Amino acid sequence: MTVLSPRNPDEVEQAVLWAAGAGKALEVIGRGTKRSLGRPAQWDATLDLSALTGVTLYEPDELVLSAKAGTPLAEIEALCAANGQELAFEPMDYGPLLGVAAGRGTIGGALAVNASGPRRIKAGAARDHLLGLTAVSGRGETFKTGGRVVKNVTGYDLCKLMAGSWGTLAAMTEVTVKTLPRAETEASVVLAGLAATVAGDAMAAAMGSAYDVSGAAHLPGSVAGRISADLGGRSVTVLRLEGVGPSVVHRRDGLCALLRPFGTASVIEESLSRPLWRAVRDSLPFAAGGPSGERVLWRLSTAPSGGAGLVERIGRAVDAEFMQDWAGGLVWVAVAPTQDGGTAAVRATIAACGGHATLVRAPAALRAAVAVFEPQTGNLTALTKRIKDGFDPKGVLNPGRMWAGI
Amino acid sequence: MSVRMPEPDQALLARRDEIVRALRAIVPGEGVIATERGMRPYETDGLTAYRQLPLAVVLPETTAQVAAILRYCYAETIPVVPRGAGTSLSGGALPLADGVLLGMAKFNRIRDIDFANRVAVVEPGVTNLAVSKAVEHAGFYYAPDPSSQIACTIGGNVAENSGGVHCLKYGMTSNNVLGCEMVLMTGEVVRLGGKHLDAGGYDLIGVVGGSEGLLGVVTEVTVRILKKPETARAVLVGFPSSEDAGACVARIIGAGIIPAGMEMMDRPAIHATEAFVHADYPLDVEALLIVELDGPQAEVDHLIATVSEIARGCGAMNLRVSTSEAERLLFWAGRKAAFPAVGRISPDYLCMDGTIPRAKLPLVLARMKDMSAKYGLRVANVFHAGDGNLHPLILYDANEPGELARAEAFGADILKLCVEVGGVLTGEHGVGIEKRDLMPVMFSEVDLAHQQRLKCAFDDKGLLNPGKVFPVLNRCAELGRMHVSGGNLPFPDIPRF
Ligand SMILES: Cc1cc2nc3c(=O)[nH]c(=O)nc-3n(C[C@H](O)[C@H](O)[C@H](O)COP(=O)(O)OP(=O)(O)OC[C@H]3O[C@@H](n4cnc5c(N)ncnc54)[C@H](O)[C@@H]3O)c2cc1C
């Protein structure tokens, strides 16, 4: 297939104009780590943005960083870390789930899929940290939105529209994000052996406290054992505390006391806590190369208090493994690769419980046969289509990747 | 008054009685106001220099009524201006002579408080403070806290993506909204989000935030609520120059500290507020900084010590740490009353709202001083120092011929300067009519056309709040057109995989 590798934003514009004129559909990629996520649509050429690289501005005192969209995320994270900062939305790396090496994604890709991590519950997702961008819409026109300052309500917030649009509206060429101080230290409080419903209550109690919890996950025993042998056997409910030393100590003790009704909590220190949360972030227990690598993988977002019920309901219907993050509201479901990969059970459950589900990993045939992204219903279908038509009237950019006709 | 509103449609003005009758059929009784006296309270918002009586005021109570009103206005091509409490400082809720003013004040119920999911579901006419009040018995609060929080509504907050002194740490309205119900101009009702995080498709709640009533009428909002921090303490620091104060802010953030709030005032603002509320501010300083830290006691004590040390190293002339809740509130009393305090020393004032990269503060303040001399108008500055959001208050007297025009020109110069140094026209008050004609300073025609295409997807006839935000509202049919020519591959393809 034809691969267009523009070296600068002008060439991105030319490539899109060519496609629009020639009636071609482009697959838009950074370094392609998430290529297998989405409907397997038919594209005529690939628009590869990975040559647009480089950090163009980084002012740690101003908490702001700009980079060309194809800049490797790992490079940006290393630069921030060297300055005691980080991208607080903790973007997950889809690579290991999709059979791609870890640490290969680009900043543009992370933003386009509205990536986030365990800290989503406290610090937000990519959408909350994207301050400004330049992009080429499907009309072949370069536009900018937002700016480089945190507080900005000038015009529509198109940054939010771009975050999570999976390259279906515009190809971002340069982005500006907020950077934040990296926590001095962290520790995690762990409760062992809780059933999912009880774990939900424990996480709600922790989140409803003043202890500023920045991660709340529940891992069944079989899943926990894949992260660390020390954790194996029984389920673990893990709560992360980040901040300055004295504060973490104080909150750790307070949280252990608060959670006494749920059992005696133990504490994991920083050196073990960091890798544990990274594994939760990237959903490593379900990595492509691991014991569940053949399973079909779903990512569901629901109200936290409904997470346990949702797990139970799907578990009754199909052979599935689970992991919950976001205080119970983010549910990873790994389903045995039967015919529909759990589609009917997942969709019916989300319809009943509220929220949305994305089919993260499945054979192409299944992704072609069932909805990968949450199906649009009612008035939202037409509204989504009108937005697509406004930005990409010829259907040049990733057409069909999210939904047919978009 | 330099901003011109669209010419009213004479045909609509002539049909006024008929339109009022049709509205009465939808909202019975006192829900439709058509007398001049009854409509007076709605003729302006927080930007009081602009006044206009609407065609009629309608105060619906249910989503079904809102939908019916919009469906009717869409069919009859009648403009609609949504309104919350009318505290907008940018003229967002200014009525149109040929338009229906849709007041959302009767949507004032809290529908659901859900502590397990840490959300509240409220109607848009509920005031900002009422949300915090409704959950405070359980130790919770709603974080975004505009100074107008006693009066302003959640619907208005969503439409303006409002901030407050605590948004440095806790985010603006958009970062704290999870879902909403909204009625489109066609009368269609859409539900976006809910109690879960993020969107399953395009982030439409994200674009509704800050859309200034141009995309739809919000009829329900789901907001996040947070547990109150264990404690909060503030440091009050005086500096001999704004450069020193600015350097202190940069160093605090450079040290990895994100305070709950970090506010600065310049000399005129300090003197005006001290005379008004007697907060015991030092009067011999050029800049005053209030830094608030919140969280567990151990953390706050630790950070207060660090911040104090940094401030001393930056040439602080005096420094006080609050030792009680009463003292902390006293530190804030002056800052929170800054607008009315300035209102006392001048018949009128214009409140500007640009944001700049923090490091440019000394430059911007110096240039503002020159402008103040040039225009012959005083200016007092309060400043959300942590995030670079400036609120220069330009003092003028509307009764002096030409002063309003001079004040507006001064304000425009300040905002152009903000953009010139890498900032933006508005940090939290919105574009409205006030900054509408300055949009081209920040955005190209192509940028604005892309924003308007979003508008077209929601409101193809451009009937919701016309005359706001965009200097020129192009027709959707024109914006939708795309001319393309077939061509060759623009540059050689390089096989890479
Ligand atoms: C003294 C004072 C202090 C202030 N301090 C701050 C501050 O600290 N931070 C800050 O950000 N702002 C501040 N403001 C500005 C103002 O209070 C905010 O913009 C507020 O959010 C407006 O809310 P409102 O209910 O008054 O909305 P209105 O003024 O009635 O309307 C504002 C906009 O929202 C639209 N709108 C209202 N309700 C709806 C709805 N239900 N659906 C769709 N659109 C709707 C209107 O069309 C209009 O465009 C201050 C204002 C004053 C007067």
Window 199-238 of A: residues touching B by CB (8 A cutoff) are 204, 207-212
Half-sphere exposure (Cβ direction) of A305: Cα atoms closer than 13 Å: 13
Nearest to A212 by CA among B143, B385, B291: B143
Per-residue model confidence as pLDDT tens digits over B333-392:
999 889 889 989 999 999 999 999 998 998 999 999 999 999 999 999 999 999 999 999
Q: Has residue B429 got a pLDDT over 50?
A: yes
Q: Domain locations in chain A? A: 1-182+376-406, 185-282, 285-369
Token digits of residue B488: 């060759």
CB B423 within 8 A of CB B442: no
Count of beta carbons in the 10 Å neighbourhood of residue B51: 13
CB A302 within 8 A of CB B196: yes
Residue B484 to chain A, least CA–CA distance (Å):
5
Half-sphere exposure (Cβ direction) of B375: Cα atoms closer than 13 Å: 24
3-state secondary structure of A227: helix
CATH architecture for residues A185-282: 2-Layer Sandwich (3.30)
Token digits of residue A198: 């009880």
**Which chain B residues are Cβ-neighbours of A114 within 8 angstroms?**
198, 203
Per-residue model confidence as pLDDT tens digits over B59-96:
999 999 999 999 999 999 999 999 999 999 999 999 99
Sign, CA dihedral A198-A203-A204-A210, equals: positive
Per-residue model confidence as pLDDT tens digits over B13-27:
999 999 999 999 999
**How far is Cα B217 from Cα B23, in angstroms, rounded to an integer?**
17
CB-CB under 8 Å, A154 with B424: yes
Residue among A18, A59, A62, A151 with most chain B CBs within 10 A, to mutate? A151
**How far is Cα B435 from Cα B441, in angstroms, rounded to an integer?**
10
**Helix, strand, coil percentages for chain B (3-state, nearest 5):** 40, 20, 40
Per-residue model confidence as pLDDT tens digits over B91-122:
999 999 999 999 999 999 999 999 999 999 99
Q: Least CB-CB distance to B487: which of A2, A18, A357?
A: A18
- Distance in Å from the first CA to the final CA of chain A: 22
Token digits of residue B287: 């800049």
Q: Is B358 on the interface with A (CB under 8 A)?
A: yes
Q: Which helix (H) or strand (E) holds A20?
A: helix A9-22
- Distance in Å from the first CA to the final CA of chain B: 61
Q: Has residue B257 got a pLDDT over 60?
A: yes
CB A110 within 8 A of CB A164: no
Task: State the distance from the centre of ligand 1 to the C-alpha of B208, rounded, in angstroms.
Answer: 14
Task: Please report the pLDDT score of residue B496 as a whole number.
Answer: 40
**How far is Cα B399 from Cα B406, in angstroms, rounded to an integer?**
13
CB B310 within 8 A of CB B248: yes
- Find the DSSP H helices in A237-322: 245-258, 270-281, 307-317
In B, minimum Cα distance to A382 occurs at B457
Q: Beta strand A64-68 with A55-59: parallel, antiparallel or unpaired?
A: antiparallel
**Which chain A residues are Cβ-neighbours of B387 within 8 angstroms?**
149-151
**How far is Cα B331 from Cα B290, in angstroms, rounded to an integer?**
7
**Which chain A residues are Cβ-neighbours of B438 within 8 angstroms?**
none
Place of tokens 């569901």: A300
- Residue partners of B309: CB distance under 8 A and separation at least 6: none
Nearest to B450 by CA among B485, B419, B480: B480
Nearest to B188 by CA among B106, B80, B74: B74
Per-residue model confidence as pLDDT tens digits over B296-326:
988 999 999 999 999 999 999 999 999 999 9
**Which chain A residues are Cβ-neighbours of B250 within 8 angstroms?**
61-62
- The listed CATH number (3.10.20.340, 3.30.465.10, 2.102.10.10, 3.30.450.40) that belongs to domain A1-182+376-406: 3.30.465.10
Nearest to B450 by CA among A103, A158, A194: A158
To the nearest 10 degrees (0 to 180), the angle between helices B361-375 and B403-420 is 160
C-alpha B242: how far from its chain's center? 25
Bridge partners of A144, per DSSP, are A134
Q: Is A369 on the interface with B (CB under 8 A)?
A: no
B210-242 burial string, b = 16+ CB within 10 Å, else e? bbbbbbbbbbbbbbbbbbbbbbbbbbbbbbeeb
**How far is Cα B390 from Cα B263, in angstroms, rounded to an integer?**
10
Place of tokens 């498709």: B201
Q: What's the rounded mean pLDDT across residues B161-190?
A: 97
CB-CB under 8 Å, B426 with A153: yes
C-alpha pair distances (Å), B11 with each of B14, B16, B96: 5, 9, 14
Task: Please report the pLDDT score of residue A41 as a whole number.
Answer: 86
**How far is Cα B43 from Cα B207, in angstroms, rounded to an integer?**
28
**How far is Cα A46 from Cα A27, in angstroms, rounded to an integer?**
5
For residue B486, name the pLDDT band (cuts at 50, 70, 90).
low
**How far is Cα A147 from Cα A169, in angstroms, rounded to an integer?**
19
Q: Would you say how long chain B is, in residues?
A: 497
Q: Would you say how long chain A is, in residues?
A: 406
Long-range Cβ contacts of B32-41 (<8 Å, 24+ apart): B32/B56, B32/B57, B32/B58, B32/B59, B33/B57, B33/B58, B33/B59, B39/B101
Half-sphere exposure (Cβ direction) of B384: Cα atoms closer than 13 Å: 30
Q: Provide DSSP, B94-150.
A: ---TTSEEEE-TT---EEEEETTTTEEEE-TTSBHHHHHHHHGGGTEE-----TTTT
CB B106 within 8 A of CB B65: no
CB B263 within 8 A of CB B371: no
What domains, with CATH codes, occur in chain B? Answer: 10-103 (3.30.43.10), 110-227 (3.30.465.10), 231-340 (3.30.70.3450), 346-438 (3.30.70.2740), 449-497 (no CATH)
CATH 1.10.1060 fits A285-369, yes or no: no
- Which residues of chain A fall below pLDDT 70? none
Q: Has residue B492 got a pLDDT over 80?
A: no
Name the percent of chain B lying above pLDDT 90.
Answer: 91
**Which chain A residues are Cβ-neighbours of B114 within 8 angstroms?**
305
Residue A29 to chain B, least CA–CA distance (Å):
12
Burial of B63 from C-beta contacts in 10 A (0-12 / 13-18 / 19+)? middle
- Residue partners of B476: CB distance under 8 A and separation at least 6: B452, B453, B456, B460, B461, B462
Judge whether A185-282 and A285-369 match in fold.
yes
Ligand 1 site, residue B386, Cβ cutoff 6 A: no
CB-CB under 8 Å, A4 with B491: yes
Q: Is B63 on the interface with A (CB under 8 A)?
A: no
B1-18 burial string, b = 16+ CB within 10 Å, else e? eebebeeebeebeebeee
**How far is Cα B159 from Cα B214, in angstroms, rounded to an integer?**
9
Task: Please report the pLDDT score of residue A49 as a whole number.
Answer: 98
Ligand 1 site, residue B46, Cβ cutoff 6 A: yes
Burial of A222 from C-beta contacts in 10 A (0-12 / 13-18 / 19+)? middle
Task: Please report the pLDDT score of residue A232 as a whole number.
Answer: 72
CB A186 within 8 A of CB A240: yes
- Find the DSSP H helices in B220-347: 242-254, 267-277, 297-313, 325-336, 338-345
Burial of A234 from C-beta contacts in 10 A (0-12 / 13-18 / 19+)? middle
Place of tokens 């404690």: B231
